[in-house]
Amino acid sequence: MSETTEKTMSARDYKSDLKPIWCPGCGNFGFLNALYLTFQELQLQPENTAVVSGIGCSSRLPGYVKTYAFNGVHGRVLPFASGVKMSRPETTVIAVGGDGDGFSIGAGHIGHAARKNINITYVVLDNNIYGLTKGQASPTTPLGVKTKTTYYGNMGMQFNPVRMLIAYKASFVARTFSGDPKHIRKVLVEAIRHNGFSFVEVLSPCVTFRGKDQFKIIRDKVRYLDEQHHADNELEAFDVANDEKELALGVIYKKPRPTYDEIINADVTTKAKAVSHGKPKVNKLMDQFKP
């Protein structure tokens, strides 16, 4: 029987027949193109790759890639992504969502996926607004911004996703910007290669509900982390995350630790060895349940 060989994939091979229907100028276009190039660089095979999402503008993305894809319900992308990874460990799993999907109704799932260190990549395309439902304030909408649900200005403090994920003990936390696809590609490659839960915040402006000037505003506000940054130092990472006047781009925190499946497999192996050296007395065990 002849051996099968994997096909060399180009960025175009990952494009589905569906055309993106985002608004012209949406930051998600830049991310999607960078994702194709990331897949090409990693030579991910479509049959061993899953892109899953919740609900929202950015959550349309699974339909635009030629891999296993699933568009779920609002805020529930991480439970589904975790299930895919735990049932098929050989699969590369990328979860995609927006700031509303992830940090509002889905916020309760992030901490558990992060602390368990499930080996998936979670990308949040953060546009500071609810775009799909036409411009309501989201958890990352800045304080004072007027939206359809905050006529007198947003009265809630703006979420800081990077700070939150470091606190949740995510083993990889990064930030990038859809206006710089090359940087997105660099960060995504490292995030997907990371063995554990990797979180990437993508600053992805909504030109429809947040304004066409958002790209310029973000460009003027960001800075790139250099080699002097110690990503494995949690206190240094918190200092970077706490700076909200100048947003740092790059890998902000990275500290490898055992993944959820590695811990489970090690525990199962240990217990299996213990049983093999001394089989439990079934009758004695059953006696404790007798009336």
Between CA 134 and CA 4 the distance in angstroms is 49
Q: Is 170 helix (H, G, I), strand (E, B) or coil?
A: coil
In the chain, domain spans: 11-257
pLDDT of residue 2: 44
Per-residue pLDDT, averaged over 106-127, amounts to: 96
The pLDDT of residue 220 is above 90: yes
Q: Over the stretch 133-152, which tens digit does the pLDDT of each residue have? A: 999 999 999 999 999 999 99
Report residue 128 as tokens. Answer: 């500071």
Which residue type does 157 have?
M
Report residue 77 as tokens. Answer: 């992308």
Beta-carbon contacts of residue 250 (< 8 Å; ≥ 6 apart): 174, 175, 176, 183, 187, 224, 225, 229
11-257 has CATH 3.40.50.970 classification: yes
pLDDT of residue 277: 58
Which of 17-26, 71-80, 277-286 bottoms out in mean pLDDT, i.e. has the lowest?
277-286
Q: How many CB atoms lie within 10 A of CB 151?
A: 7
Biggest CA–CA distance in the chain, Å, is: 74
The pLDDT of residue 284 is above 90: no
Q: Over the stretch 245-282, which tens digit does the pLDDT of each residue have? A: 999 999 999 999 999 989 988 876 666 565 555 555 66
Among 135, 133, 109, residue whose Cα is nearest residue 122:
109
The pLDDT of residue 217 is above 70: yes
Q: Over the stretch 22-41, which tens digit does the pLDDT of each residue have? A: 999 999 999 999 999 999 99
Q: Over the stretch 180-196, which tens digit does the pLDDT of each residue have? A: 999 999 999 999 999 99
Q: Cα angle at 126 between 125 and 129, to 5 degrees?
A: 125
pLDDT of residue 55: 94
Query: What is the average pLDDT value for the chain, to the nearest integer?
Result: 92
Side-by-side strand order, sheet with 247-254:
68-71, 49-53, 92-98, 121-126, 198-203, 172-177, 247-254, 222-224
Report residue 65 as tokens. Answer: 């890639």
